[in-house]
Structure 1
Amino acid sequence: MSKKLFGTDGIRGTPGKEPLTPETIGKIAAGFAALIRKLAHGKKNPSIVMGKDTRESCMMIEQALVSGLTDAGADLKLLGVLPTAAVAYLTKHLKADGGIMISASHNPSDQNGIKLFTQIGEKLSEKDEEFVENNLGKRAERSRKGTVMTLAKAEDDYLAFLADSAGKPKLAGLTVVVDAANGAAYKSAAIFASLGAAAKVINNKPDGKNVNHDCGAMQPQHLQKEVLSAGAACGIAFDGDSDRLIMVDEKGNVVDGDAIMLAIAKDMLKRRQLAKNTVVVTEYTNTAFDDELSGLGAMTARVQNGDKFVYGEMKKHGYALGGEQSGHIIIGSNTTGDGVLAAIHVAGIMQKTGKPLSELARLEKKPQALINVEVKEKTELKSLPLTSAAIAAAEKQLPAIKGRSLIRYSGTQNTLRIMLEGKDGHEIMRLAEEIAAAARKEIGA
């Protein structure tokens, strides 16, 4: 059976519509329980931890998962509202057999999703995803119906882990503004104050509908103003489930994942902790990043988009740092992007060196155009005459400006992502706009 439910980061959709209807969610629960039982060597009552972000639809999805999982004999521990990285960590820390996060990450509040983890906090492999799909609704052999319990203080374990992992930096004297995106990190953001920083937290009053709305990592314009108004050393922005980090420097400039990784990589190099002097990045990372690392005696390893592919490469080769331009950053042996942890690391580097973020994260990028086109359906690009012609015309001109292109559909949204990079910014944007115009005409939503 070919994969139909899973994208690059779990299952996404509109609650109440396929695949996020109560009936289908129940079938997904049965399929996941079957996978976890297999991975746990036939354990009839496997234990599963489950967290969620702040979307109002999380309650419906949680209830449907609880029903399906307990019917399959799974014992559940409900963690409440927590970042995705916390669920990954707690799955392993609590010695559960699997983990679930209910979130659509950076997507709008009217969308939601389900992320699934193995017992060591890793996202499912493609083989595991296919197993879940092939076992949707499978009736389980159980010794009894599963149980449900709530863990009220699970977040405390996660916050302690964050501080320990970052070396418990002393942030006294550092003024930061934290944008919690009205999402899963709306309480976790308090860790910056506990580490001594003068921290102002904004967008930390979720109402179920305001997650990612005009705030957070996807829309940092208000954070930029807050940083300048407060005279802060930096701004820190998360998305709905806090697996992304975007920052703002003391001058009000946005600092993306590429620049954040550079700051962390330089610090790790100095401490001789950048394993094999390599950082794992995706195809979207600006090639100026490669040039900067090369000048420092380090290099990049490139993989396809998606933090699970970044993690896979890190695990395979023993690398200690990886991430995406969008702000997913994985440090050390962690299994998924953790925006809060990455932010603590950067704040610690700022405090330790006494250097401003604008200097630590300075990256003279090559001109890059990134346009997202919302589409009705993900039609094969080769079958679209106008779009394919515009792509062919662009690719014919790119060599003259030492350019490259990456044009593909998002794995988490109905979006065509158009990325062009080259030495001539005006020409890059013109070519990208021509492709986008053709796509909007043929398949635009």
Structure 2
Amino acid sequence: MSTFGQYFRVSTYGESHGRSVGCIVDGCPSGLQLTESDIQPQMTRRRPGQSALTTPRDEKDRVAIEAGTEFGVTLGSPIALRVMNEDQRPKDYGGGGKNIDAFPRPSHADWTYLEKYGVKASSGGGRSSARETIGRVAAGAIAEKYLRVAHGVEIVAFTSSVGSEFLFPPTREHPTAANNPAFLELIDGVTRERVDEFLPVRCPDSTVCKRMEEVIAEFRDKQDSIGGVVTCVIRNCPSGLGEPCFDKLEAMLGHAMLSIPATKGFEIGSGFGGCEVPGSTHNDAFVKAPAVTPAEANGIAQLTPEQRSRRPRLTTKTNNSGGIQGGITNGAHIYFNVGFKPPATIGQAQQTTGYDETEGTLQAKGRHDPCVIPRAVPIVEAMAALVVMDAVMAQSARQSARSLLPVLPQTVPVGESASTLMNGRQ
């Protein structure tokens, strides 16, 4: 389906080479200051044609709010967002029956879409194209603004690998980045501004970034493609989010990330590397939360006193869990990796079989990314924001309903820490 979320619902529309793409956002709280300027920065980070390492398709991706706001304030009604396709070229795909359209592109969705629907878009992959993610990024920007204003949430993603080049390669000492001090220091303070200093790759390390850039350029020049990994951290996320048993927050994050085109893997916290260490090392012991985090001390985190007061009184000494335990957030940083395969459409001639079952050679035309990782960064951030926003609204509904009930000896009043119950009420 093309709708994501239960409380903050996003429905995307549009094909790669249609007139426009966009989305409808239903369930956004009223009273949020919102204009196109709140959304456009992320659209610009996602847009094609950013460098010689991305598709040369020239789209400005200018977003327009068509409904749902008045005088720059959300009304609580559905928000319509639209982006016009300005540089679509369906002729590059054979015009609906010739040349490239005679063959299903290897590892693309041409064949499976035709098998499912009995018809497919003749150009650019239609809805299977990454062009569809424009609506996700636009909606994610709205969710992010609410989360930032209401809770001080910060979401930052960056490139952590391209091909065999890793920002934090696994080692015997650190089979997972979860216990690598350099990684933990990075996710504690990295910002989008810092990430974007390393364009076009968006890997926040000058040496590794240069090597990644060379790898992408090498595959581009060979008319080939390469994959990689995007790492994302969510800071200042409220505790108590997630809906066990089937909608645990990590499950919803996995759902969201694996719905992004070209994704092939998702791991959270210590991930697969955590399988190599014993429980005595992996367990996250609880400690008293510091009054000021390193990010706040360095001016990176911008929390109001009210937001700071809502933080849990306990945190964990380590964070192999990735900020989620039992499917529920514990207030620590949430961090995860998303693996992307090499883009399916390449310029090299490939031996394959056509729709008519005749073997032949396909040499794709059109404009395509040799590596999607740099442009996937804002898409991962957007989907993370949509998951957290939906979870925040679910928890807010639960707390609102619970606040109307009398406080019992075994319950914690809404707005108070669990420490109140365990330590005894005064």
TM band (smaller chain)? under 0.3
Larger Rg: 2
Please report the TM-score for the alignment, with normalisation by the length of structure 1: 0.25
Higher relative contact order (CA 8 A, sep 6+): 2
Please report the TM-score for the alignment, with normalisation by the length of structure 2: 0.26
